[in-house]
Amino acid sequence: MALQKYLSFITIMICFVVCYSSTLQEDPLSLIVEDSPYINDGTFIKQSKDHVLGLRRFDKSGEISLNSFKTFNVDDFGAQGDGKNDDTQAFNKVWEAACSWKGTAIVLAQKNYLLKPITFSGPCKSNIEVQISGTLDASNNPSDYNEDPTHWLMFDSIQKLTVKGGGTINGNGNIWWQNSCKKNKKLPCKNAPTALTFYKCNNLVVKDLTIKDGQQIHFTIQDSSNVIVSGLTVTAPEDSPNTDGIHVTNTQNIRISSSTIGTGDDCISIVDGSKNLKATDITCGPGHGISIGSLGEGGSKEFVSGITVNGAKFSGTTNGVRIKTWQGGSGSASNIKFHNIQMDNVTNPIIIDQNYCDQQTPCQKQKSAVQIRNVLYQNIKGTSASDVAMQFDCSQNFPCQGIVLQNINLQLEGGGEAKASCNNVKLSYRGNVSPRCSYIEEMHEIGSNRFIV
């Protein structure tokens, strides 16, 4: 009996030692909040009482590192959010706090805010996610823009930035449109503010926003790289001047997808220094279509390459897919693909214009031009609002080269055959192509392709 009691005592002591020693080692699973969905690849997120989210991750050595998420609500920094009182200072304050946070900062804007021109500057210590679920309204007092007449909302030199939230950015552009020289020829031509600008922002994500009634361009991406844009709705009246939807300049590696754009100018405009851009699932109209250019203005040397538009629908636009360059410039627009596109009642469904001239006086004839080469038009169908559905107006000294048409079917709106106009273009056909160019010049048959020089 004594022996049995002794063995039981030993068993209890062994269990106590084992349980006690196990509590000395931190159990990784203990870091998980009960019912937490944030479990992925050894990463656990735990929320504390002050709304700072701690991110604990095991590194290669088995140690646990700590990164943190903190929420910054603009209302907590003095914003009234009534759409009437100026909330610019509150946005400056919330940005300063978020940019200084050593972790990941989430900035919330959930009401209706009236804002004067404002620049959100980096570099920042944090990765920032701006969640706009309310509305940002631009001041419509032109005197508020005296210091910088070309920008309203600007993000400058910020890395790993995300802007999203399902809200609206409203440029209130009517006052600028009324005073545009394109509306009133008697007025001098002046720049108006771009509604939303991202400048020198690498690893940028912009998604799920409505941008409306831009003072001029709605959304510009400049001097940036590795950009993802998706789920945008961009709108302005058809007669609003120079209100490009998305304007891309000197930016590399950009993806634009699942967006609907209807404005008074180009739905997407792609200009100098842009490279490796892919646009998919784009709905365009009204507007001037998707344009590469203009390039070469004022004798400048400009380059655009690696552009793909795959999956787009154009409705009632003045152009479909367009490349436009000024005479007298140099450089090139090359390696471009337009495919899987629907045209409905589009005035110029396919157009290359190397004699572009957007000025009040006629442009003088020049000898130099931006070279256009290696352009594929594939699987494009629909209707043209004009007799000429396909137009290549290329330079005599620098003809368009390597232009390929494959499976094209463009008819007149309301029925009938459309026409093609082709000048100074080296062109090949593949598959069924309608309309085709009528040429007196020499034609060469090579295999199944017809080359026109």
Active site residues: 288
Strand-pair category, 151-156 with 161-164 = unpaired
Could you give phi then psi for residue 338, rounded to 5 degrees? -120, 110
Which pair of tokens denotes residue 208? 């799920």
Contact 138, 115 (CB under 8 A): yes
Cis ω for the linkage preceding 286 (within 30 of 0): yes
Which pair of tokens denotes residue 332? 């090139």
DSSP per-residue string spanning 120-136 = EE---SSEEEEEE-SEE
Query: Residue 443's Cα: distance from chain center in Å?
Result: 41
Neighbours of 204 (CB within 10 A): 23
Contact 320, 346 (CB under 8 A): yes
Contact 169, 133 (CB under 8 A): no
Q: Which strands, in side-by-side order, build the sheet including 268-270? A: 118-121, 151-156, 194-199, 219-222, 246-249, 268-270, 290-295, 321-326, 350-356, 388-393, 419-423
Any residues with CB less than 8 A from the CB of 58 and at least 6 apart, and which?
28, 42, 64
Any residues with CB less than 8 A from the CB of 287 and at least 6 apart, and which?
238, 245, 261, 262, 263, 264, 265, 266, 267, 317, 318
Any idea which residue has 């479990």 for tokens? 39
**Residue 33 gets which letter from DSSP?**
P
Give CA–CA dist 215/191, Å, rounded: 9
- 441 class by beta-carbon count within 10 Å (0-12 exposed, 13-18 middle, 19+ buried): exposed
Strand-pair category, 443-446 with 419-423 = unpaired
Could you give phi then psi for residue 91, rounded to 5 degrees? -70, -35
